[in-house]
Chain A
Amino acid sequence: MRISYRGTRATVLAVVSVAVLGWGVYAGINHKSDIPRDYDRNAWKAKYTRPSSIPFPADNQFSKERELLGRTLFFDPRLSGSKITACATCHNPGLSWGDALPIAIGQGMKPLSRRTPTILNTAWSELLFWDGRAESLEEQALSPISAPKEMNQPLDRMIANVSSIPGYQAMFHSAYPGEAITPKTVARAIATFERTVVSGQAPFDDWVSGRESAISEAAKKGFDLFNTKAACQKCHGGWNFTDDGFHDVGLADDDLGRGVELPLASMQHAFKTPTLRNVDVRGPYMHNGSERSLADVIELYDQGGRKKRPSLAPEVVPLHLTAQEKANLIAFLKTLTSHDKPVEIPVLPR
C-alpha cells in the first residue's frame, strides 16, 4: 500500500503534537513555554491594583500645612551642619528621589557604605533603611540629619537654627498649632511630606485598569514570567512591588545588613526589598550599587545569586531564563515607570 508523503507528514506532525502536548500535561506546564497551565493572567493582574489613598498614621494625619512645612524642611540645606546638604541632596526628585550613585556621598564628600534608597511610596513601608532599623518615617527622618557621616547636625543645633528663621515659626504654628518647634515636630512634618511622594500612574497601571494596548506583548509575557518561572513576585509582589521583607540575595560583599539589627541566621546579609516602581530610571541597583543595569540584576538572579552562603534566601535559585525571557522581563519592568509632573521646589523661608 502506498502512503502519500503529505499523509505521512500529517501523521508525523499529529504524533509529535500529541506527544508534546502529552508531555506538557504530564509536566503540568504549557507546551509553548514554562508558564504553568493553570496560570491566570487576569487573576494576577488584580493583585497589582493601586491603592486609592495614602495611609497616614492616626497621630500624624495629613494637612496641607504639614505637607508644605515638611516639603520646605526636606529641601532646606540649613538643616545640616555644613548648611549645604538637604534631604533632597541625596533624595533628588529629578533622579526619582535617589542620587543615581552606586554609593551615597556624605559629610565631607566621603562615601557612605550603601546606596541611597528612593523615598517613593515609603508611606506604605513597614521598616525603613536597607537594614530596617527605623520603625517609622518619623523615626527615620531625624537619623540622617544627626548622623555625623551624613548631614552631621546635632538635633538641638538643628532646632536652634530652624527656630531662628522667622518664616518657619508661622509655618510650624499653622502645621502643628500649640506645639513647639522640636525634633518631633520636624520629624512629623518631613514624614508627612515623604508620605505624599508616590509614584504616579504608569503604563502598567493603565494595563491593569483594562487598557490592553497600554503595554507591549513582550511586556505582558514579562509580567507572566515575573509571576511564574522567574518568581520575582515572591518578594516583589503587590502594587508597590515589594514585600517590605529582608533577604540575602547573594551579593558578594561583607555587609551583614539586617543581621546587625536582628542577629538571626536568616538575617545575615539580608536587605530590605526595594520597590520596583520607576525602577528603570533608578539605577545603579542593589544596596551596594553593584549592578549597573536591569540586565545585570536579571543576570544576578538568573544565576541564583553570586555568593552562595547559608543565609542565601531559598527563593534565590538559578532560573535558566532564555535571552528572550530576560528581554521580556526588562520590557515589563520598564512599564512600571510613571511620567509625573515636575516636582515643585519650595521657596525657603528667611
Chain B
Amino acid sequence: MKLLFQMAACVCMAAGLPALAADHVIDQKGKTFSERTLTIKAGDFVIFKNSDDVTHNVYSASPNMKLDIGRQAPGHPVRVPFKNPGVVEIRCAIHPRMRLTITVKK
C-alpha cells in the first residue's frame, strides 16, 4: 500500500499535479500525545493512534476546526482530515493534561 502511495505521488509530481495529501501519525501513550506541536499542510491527514490501555477522546474547540472523534478504544487508530489553514488546539476530553497544537498551513 505504501508503495502504491509513493508511485502515485511520483506520477503527480511528474504530471505537475498537486502532491497527494500526507498522513501524519500522532500516538497517545502514557496519557500524553507523542508530540506537543505539529505543522501540516491543508488537506493533510492526522492519524491518531491509541497505544494506551485506556479510552481517549480527541477533540478540538478551536474556531477554525470543531472536532470530536468520540471515544477511541485502545488499538483503534482514527484518521482525521485537516482542510482549513489555521491553528487547531487538540485536547483529550477525558485526560485534560493531553494537549497538542496543530498548525495547518496553506
Q: Which of A132, A265, A313 contacts B55 (CB 8 A)?
A: A313
Q: Is the CB of A302 closer than 8 A to any CB of chain B?
A: no
Known: A265-B68, A313-B55. 12 other contacts (CB 8 A): A127-B96, A132-B96, A234-B53, A243-B95, A244-B95, A245-B95, A246-B93, A264-B57, A264-B68, A266-B55, A314-B73, A315-B55
Q: Are A266 and B70 in contact (CB under 8 A)?
A: yes
List residues 88-141 of chain A with CB under 8 A from any CB of chain B.
126-127, 132
**B29: Cβ under 8 A from any A Cβ:** no
Residues of B within 8 A of A245 (CB): 94-96
C-alpha spacing A270/B92, complex, angstroms: 14
A313 and B53 alpha carbons, distance in the complex (Å) = 13
Are B94 and A246 in contact, with the CB atoms below 8 A?
yes
A248 CB to nearest chain B CB (Å):
10
Which residue of A is nearest B94, CB measured?
A: A245
Q: Contacts A243-B95, A246-B94 known; A265 to B70 CB distance under 8 Å? A: yes
What 8 A-B pairs come out closest when comparing CB atoms? A245-B95, A126-B96, A266-B57, A234-B54, A245-B94, A314-B55, A126-B97, A266-B71
Bound Cα distance from A264 to B68, whole angstroms? 8
Which B residues are CB-close (under 8 A) to A266?
Answer: 55, 57, 70-71, 93-94
B59 part of interface (Cβ distance < 8 Å): yes
B69-105 CB contacts (< 8 Å) to partner A: 70-71, 73, 93-97
In this assembly, does B49 line the interface, its C-beta being within 8 Å of a C-beta of chain A? no
Listed in ascending order, the chain A residues whose CB lies under 8 Å from chain B are 126-127, 132, 234-235, 243-247, 262, 264-267, 270, 313-315
The residues of B that contact A262 with a CB separation of less than 8 Å are: 93
Q: Are A243 and B31 in contact (CB under 8 A)?
A: yes
A247 and B94 contacting across the interface, CB-CB below 8 Å: yes
**Complex Cα spacing A288 to B94, Å:** 20
Q: Which among B68, B70, B94 has the highest number of chain A CB atoms within 10 Å?
A: B94
Give 21 CB contacts A-B under 8 Å.
A126-B97, A127-B96, A244-B95, A244-B96, A244-B97, A245-B96, A246-B93, A246-B96, A262-B93, A264-B57, A264-B59, A264-B68, A264-B70, A265-B68, A266-B55, A266-B70, A266-B71, A266-B93, A266-B94, A313-B55, A315-B54
How many chain B residues touch A (CB < 8 A): the figure is 15
Provide the main secondary structure of the chain A interface: loop
CA gap between A259 and B55 in the complex, in Å: 17
User: Which B28-78 residues have a C-beta within 8 angstroms of A?
Assistant: 31, 53-55, 57, 59, 68, 70-71, 73
- Kindly list chain A residues whose C-beta atoms are within 8 Å of the C-beta of B59: 264
Determine how close the nearest CB of chain B comes to the CB of A101; give it in whole angstroms.
Answer: 27
Tell me the bound Cα distance from A270 to B93 in angstroms.
10
Least Cβ distance of B32 to chain A in Å?
Answer: 12
Chain B residue with minimal CB distance to A234?
A: B54
What residues on B are CB-neighbors of A267 within 8 Å?
Answer: 93
> In the complex, which residues of chain B have a beta carbon less than 8 angstroms from the beta carbon of A313?
55
CA A234 to CA B55, docked complex, whole Å: 10
Roughly how many angstroms separate A188 CA and B95 CA in the complex, as a whole number?
26
* Interface residue from B31, B71, B93 paired with A314 (Cβ < 8 Å): B71
Q: Which residues of B contact A234 (CB under 8 A)?
A: 53-54
List A contacts of B97 (CB < 8 A).
126, 244
Q: Kindly list chain A residues whose C-beta atoms are within 8 Å of the C-beta of B31.
A: 243
CB-nearest residue of chain B to A238: B31
Contacts of A126 in B (CB 8 A): 96-97
Bound form: Cα–Cα A267–B54 in Å = 15
Tell me which residues across on chain B come within 8 A of A315, comparing CB atoms.
54-55
Which residues of A lie under 8 Å from residue B93 when comparing CB positions? 246, 262, 264, 266-267
CA distance A234 to B54 in the complex (A): 7
Cβ contacts under 8 Å, A243 to chain B: 31, 95
Interchain nearest-CB distance for A115 vs B (Å): 21
Q: How far is the CA of A243 from the CA of B92 in the complex (A)?
A: 12
